[in-house]
Amino acid sequence: MGTGADNLFGNRPPTSHELRAGESWDSSYHRGPPPWDFGGPQPAVIRLAAEGGFVGPVLDVGCGSGENALHLAGLGLTVLGTDVAVTALALARTKAAQRGLPAEFAAADALHLERLGRTFRTVLDSGLFHTFDRTEQSLYARSLSAAAARGAVLYLLAFGDTGPDQDPHPVSQVDLQTAFRAELGWKVTAIASDRLMTRFHPNGAAAWLARVERV
């Protein structure tokens, strides 16, 4: 890959989503909020937090402009949000400063989370898994296993393949089970129907909410 591509994709190979879109994740933020940045935390995240589902430290992978991470930080949890989009991270840091919240944000490749050199007791993926193709999904599960402490819980919210309002890139329960398999150190303990909010889905799009344990 040449210098131009390295600059565009942050010295890493482009993901399948970036190749389909013809632009980097960071470029998605250059014309204003992208479709997934609807201006608040996901209702599923709010509900899980209210139920005591999050224990710190928390890793929010693909955090975007930080709304989910900031919601959790506002509850007193130690949170690190990571993304490859530096523009999104700058927005997240600005929000954190404006709201007086101590959330931390860092640039990191979701397919190489071992480079963080840290482990977390809860991991959140809100809308990232479904952007990967099947090869990347397995790489991602392996990457997450390096950042999740033994006994950690991963909550994964992804576009689902049921219902009349599916996103163009849904995943199935089989996709989730296949990626987060025992040989990579994971056990899927629950998958339930939920909704994933976007700027184009005011009532949310059909989604799966998976609970996965690091074993």
| Residue 215 confidence (pLDDT) above 60 | yes
Q: Which residue has the tokens 């009532």?
A: 203
Average pLDDT over residues 90-107: 98
CA distances from 80 to 10, 23, 69 (A): 20, 26, 7
| Residue 149 confidence (pLDDT) above 60 | yes
30 burial (CB, 10 Å; 0-12 / 13-18 / 19+) is exposed
Query: Is the pLDDT higher at 12 or at 194?
Result: 194
* Per-residue model confidence as pLDDT tens digits over 103-144: 999 999 999 999 999 999 999 999 999 999 999 999 999 999
| Residue 8 confidence (pLDDT) above 70 | no
DSSP assigned state of 15? P
Q: Cis peptide before 57, with omega less than 30 degrees from 0?
A: yes
CA distances from 16 to 6, 53, 65 (A): 16, 31, 21
At 78, phi and psi to the nearest 5?
Answer: -80, 120
Average pLDDT over residues 3-28: 77
| Residue 5 confidence (pLDDT) above 80 | no
Mean pLDDT, the chain, integer: 93
Of the listed ranges 97-101, 164-168, 203-207, the least confidently predicted one is 164-168
Name the amino acid, one letter, at 135: T
* Cβ atoms of residues 92 and 65 within 8 Å: yes
| Residue 50 confidence (pLDDT) above 70 | yes
Instruction: Break the chain into its structural domains and give their ranges.
Output: 32-214
What is the Cα–Cα distance from 41 to 66, expressed in whole angstroms? 8
Average pLDDT over residues 157-179: 88
pLDDT for 201 equals 87
- Split at pLDDT 50, 70, 90, the class of 166 is low
CA distances from 209 to 19, 43, 87, 92, 133 (A): 26, 12, 27, 24, 19
Residues 6+ apart with CB under 8 A from 174: none
Fold topology of 32-214: Rossmann fold (3.40.50)
Question: Would you call 18 helix, strand, or coil by DSSP?
Answer: helix
Query: Is the pLDDT higher at 201 or at 48?
Result: 48
